[in-house]
Amino acid sequence: MTSVVATQFVPLVATTAATRDFMVVSLHDVAPSNRDVASKIISELSRHGVRICSLLVIPDYHHQGLATRDRQFIGWLRNLEADGHEIVIHGYFHERPPDPHESFRDKFLTRLYTNDEGEFYDLDYEEALRRITNARDEFRASGLTPRGFVAPAWLLSREGERAARDAELEYTTRLRTVRDLRSGEEFSTRSMVYSVRSGWRRAVSRAWNGALFPFLKNNPLLRLSIHPPDYSHPVIWRQILRLVDRSNETRTPTTYRDWVAERRLMTGHRG
């Protein structure tokens, strides 16, 4: 990593009390079509002590049009970034056409687990690199500074990960890990996440996250992933806020960008 990038990548958490662990709240699927609800989520999280989040922005959500052409949306993102929030590249289209020849495992992961949105699950290297670099360049040209790439539903192939690294992005995350793409270090840290597409999914998600939370309390990094539809289900949203409130007692909110940078400082890795 060049000295210029290293300077830009200084963590905002460096002055935080060293005795506290950290928490990243990430807001997924941010796009012009859900800006209003995303803004409400960010505001409510701020009132509960989470003043910075990792915002996973989709460049062209379901081919609805480039987000970077929406001036109001981009202005909103720039203001959020200036306030300390992080802009993360989240796929490109956030959809994957079904393959009639795929295996049962592939069908389960790309259709049942995620609703045909596992865009980077099996993209080849060249196409993955093209989409990631296009997103990176479009965001940068709009005055944004993305450092990370997160695949939709965390379904990222090895070729997709190689493409993100070759696009000079700093890190990626999966459901159970955060990987520093510069040093190659991988950190085991599972994310809490909800599925709200049906009543049974909501019930299972509430029970699962309620049971999972105590087992994650000793992790140096706690991850909570939110999707815009979560806000529309009061029971789910209330549990999310309760988990945030409980975590704030012992953890400092941060972003993936800053947490990875802090880990580099602690371990001596500069990328």
Helix (H, G, I), strand (E, B) or coil at 67: helix
For the chain, what's the residue count?
271
Helix (H, G, I), strand (E, B) or coil at 139: helix
Element (H, E) at 179: strand 177-180
- pLDDT digit string (tens) for 6-38? 434 444 444 444 446 999 999 999 999 999 999
Query: Cα(52)–Cα(58) distance, rounded to whole angstroms?
Result: 19
Domains of the chain (ranges; CATH) run: 19-267 (3.20.20.370)
Listed residue (76, 91, 171) closest to 134, CA to CA:
91
Would you state the structure tokens that stand for residue 180, as one six-digit string? 């520093």
- pLDDT digit string (tens) for 119-148? 898 899 999 999 999 999 999 999 999 999
Q: What are phi and psi of 161, to 5 degrees?
A: -65, -40
Averages of pLDDT over each 10 residues, the chain, 271 residues: 41 47 97 98 98 98 96 98 98 76 55 67 94 98 98 94 98 97 96 95 96 94 98 98 96 97 81 53
**Would you state the pLDDT for residue 209?**
97
Instruction: Count Cβ neighbours within 10 Å for each residue of 5-24 and write b for 16 or more, e otherwise.
Output: eeeebebbbeeeeeeeebbb
